[in-house]
Chain A
Amino acid sequence: MANVDIKDLSKHFGSLGVFDDINLHVDDNEFVSILGPSGCGKTTLLRIVAGIEDTTAGSVIVAGEESRKPRPDTALVFQNFRLLPWRTVEDNVAYGLRLRGRSKAEARSLAQPYVMMVGLAGREKKYPYQLSGGMQQRVGLARALAVQPDILLMDEPFGALDAQTRELMQDELLRIWSADRKTVMFVTHSIDEAIVLSDRVVVMQSDPGRIVEHIPVPFDRPRDAAAMRADPRFTTLRAEMWALLRQEPLSSDMTHRATGE
């Protein structure tokens, strides 16, 4: 069992409310994207599920247990990679394994398949500063996968990458995910990315942060991102999500500009 159940969750920073009474269920083996403008609390929501942020009210139930702390069966991938600069690629990937009591050699050999999986074979001994942004995030992904979590939590993992690298990484993630179909919560502000990757897109709006729609993505797997983008259903989904995001009150001036064209 690897599902996430978010019940009546509220989060306030002091008097500043981020969101109130969020309810969301993520099923076993489901890939769910949380799509929303900045400030809607999507990252905060993920951080609460990851157990590195407190809640104000409500509960998060992961795999049937109420959860407030980081758990060994979830793993988080950060937007800014957060690789340890003093560790090589393989030792960064082995980080989580070392924390679970493996010896250095053991952790390295257990990490090796994941280094290969993200396409970094031959770069085991490089330091993060010797890698491009895309390669650094491959390390971040491998580090999370190496602890064999049941649930993968991804916080705008490709947000810091350039457009081309981003699409390559999406393909890569599709390929890796199709191997064992873990439960994934994927936070993004890119509509395309959400459609290409997910089974279901949860659209949020801000002020106050709330979930406005659940949109299933009806493409079969395994998927081909390029073919998907050419598909008319993709365009329809895209337009539907755009319309939802446009109702966003804070980005109203952007909407005017968009409609004026």
Chain B
Amino acid sequence: MTRVTDRIRTPSRVSRPGGRRGRANQQQLLWWSGLLIVPVIWQLYSMVADSTLIVGPIEVAEAAVEMAVDGELLQAAGQSGLVFLTGIAAGTAVGLAIGILVGRFRTMDVMLDPYISALFATPLVAVVPILIVALGFGFGAKVVIVAMFAFFPVAINTAAGVRGIPREFDELARSFCSSELQAWRDILVPGALPYIVTGLRLAVGRSLIAVVVAEFSTAVTGLGFLILRYSRRFDMAESLVPVVLLMLTGFVFYTLLKRVEARLAPWILRTSE
């Protein structure tokens, strides 16, 4: 298993002397205008389009305020958030442990790697209806589904990170009478941390999908259920509120973890120079 990322890395360009600051400002300007273009076009389109089904961001915002005041948005977000956090925590914990075992011990690698790699490429959503039949409609079933989605990228990246740690640190640890668990704490986890964060970032994206799929399939609680209920009534503004909330959540987590990735390992960036 090698590290999985969602994209190849773009190395930071060597900036040419002169005009560096000016270019950075220009980039910022373009970036922010790009961010604004989407809602603006959406709003204009909704005003031109001759359909009550096409609602603009302003209507969605109004609906959001209404639903927030009502308390129903908060309640649904709380339900989804709890499933999301519990599931991702469980999936990450198991993924970390399995990833370290696979990365550290050759036997574990030989035994488990084929299964983990194959299952990672499997469209896991296909299993969701079966899991719901088996585990029911409750909180536990949803957590299991989310954890399953979060597990794979964390496990695969942790294993790749641990495998990349030079064996000589093993000797260092042994010469200082370190126990196996202390070596995990001092060497394996920090050494693999940049990889683990990449895994976590991928896990966040997949877990959000899992939450929504689980809530669509069980249809009793959460943001997914709100989307279903309102879209079935053709209340488009109300049905888009949770969608936008999910978008924001995904984007915020993604951006944050991307920042962490970049800041986490100054020593790696330096040694590659």
Contacts and interface: CB of A to CB of B under 8 A. Distances in A.
* A touching B, CB within 8 angstroms: yes
Interface of A: 50-52, 69-72, 75-76, 78, 80, 82, 84-87, 95-96, 98-99, 127-130, 147
Contact of A82 (B172, B186, B268, B270): B172
A84 B169 contact: yes
B266 interface: yes
Given A95-B186, A98-B186, A86 B191 contact: yes
Interface string B167-195: 01101101111110010001100110100
Contact of B175 (A50, A129, A130): A50
Given A84-B169, A85-B267, A98-B186, A72 B175 contact: no
A84 B187 contact: yes
Q: Is the interface of A mostly helix, strand, loop or mixed?
A: loop
Given A84-B186, A84-B190, A86-B190, A99 B177 contact: yes
A87 B187 CA distance: 10
Contacts of A84: 169, 172, 186-187, 190-191
Contacts of A78: 168, 171-172
B245 interface: no
Contacts of A96: 176
Contacts of A80: 168
A86 B175 contact: no
Contacts of A51: 174-175
A99 B182 contact: yes
Contacts of A130: 270
B161 to A, nearest CB: 12
Q: Is the interface of B mostly helix, strand, loop or mixed?
A: helix
B270 to A, nearest CB: 5
A75 B177 CA distance: 10
Interface residues of B, number: 22
A152 B266 CA distance: 32
A95 B268 CA distance: 20
A129 B168 CA distance: 17
Given A85-B267, A99-B177, A52 B182 contact: no
A86 B267 contact: yes
Interface string B137-180: 00000000000000000000000000000001101101111110
B122 interface: no
A50 B191 CA distance: 25
Contacts of B175: 50-52, 70, 75-76
A70 B176 contact: yes
B168 A82 contact: yes
A85 B193 CA distance: 12
Contact of B271 (A69, A70, A129): A129
Contacts of A85: 267-268, 271
A127 B190 CA distance: 14
22 contacts: A50-B175, A51-B175, A52-B174, A70-B175, A70-B177, A75-B175, A76-B175, A78-B168, A78-B171, A82-B168, A84-B186, A84-B190, A84-B191, A85-B268, A86-B191, A95-B176, A96-B176, A99-B179, A99-B182, A99-B186, A129-B266, A129-B267
B209 to A, nearest CB: 32
A146 to B, nearest CB: 10
A76 B175 CA distance: 7
Interface string B255-268: 00000000001111
A223 to B, nearest CB: 29
A52 B171 contact: yes
Given A80-B168, A84-B186, A129 B270 contact: yes
B135 to A, nearest CB: 40
Contact of B267 (A76, A95, A127): A127
Nearest to B183: A99
Contacts of B187: 84
A129 B273 CA distance: 11
A52 B267 CA distance: 28
A261 B193 CA distance: 56
A147 B176 contact: yes
A87 B265 CA distance: 11
B172 to A, nearest CB: 5
Nearest to B266: A127
A71 B177 CA distance: 7
Given A52-B171, A129-B270, 5 more contacts: A50-B175, A76-B175, A82-B171, A96-B176, A127-B266
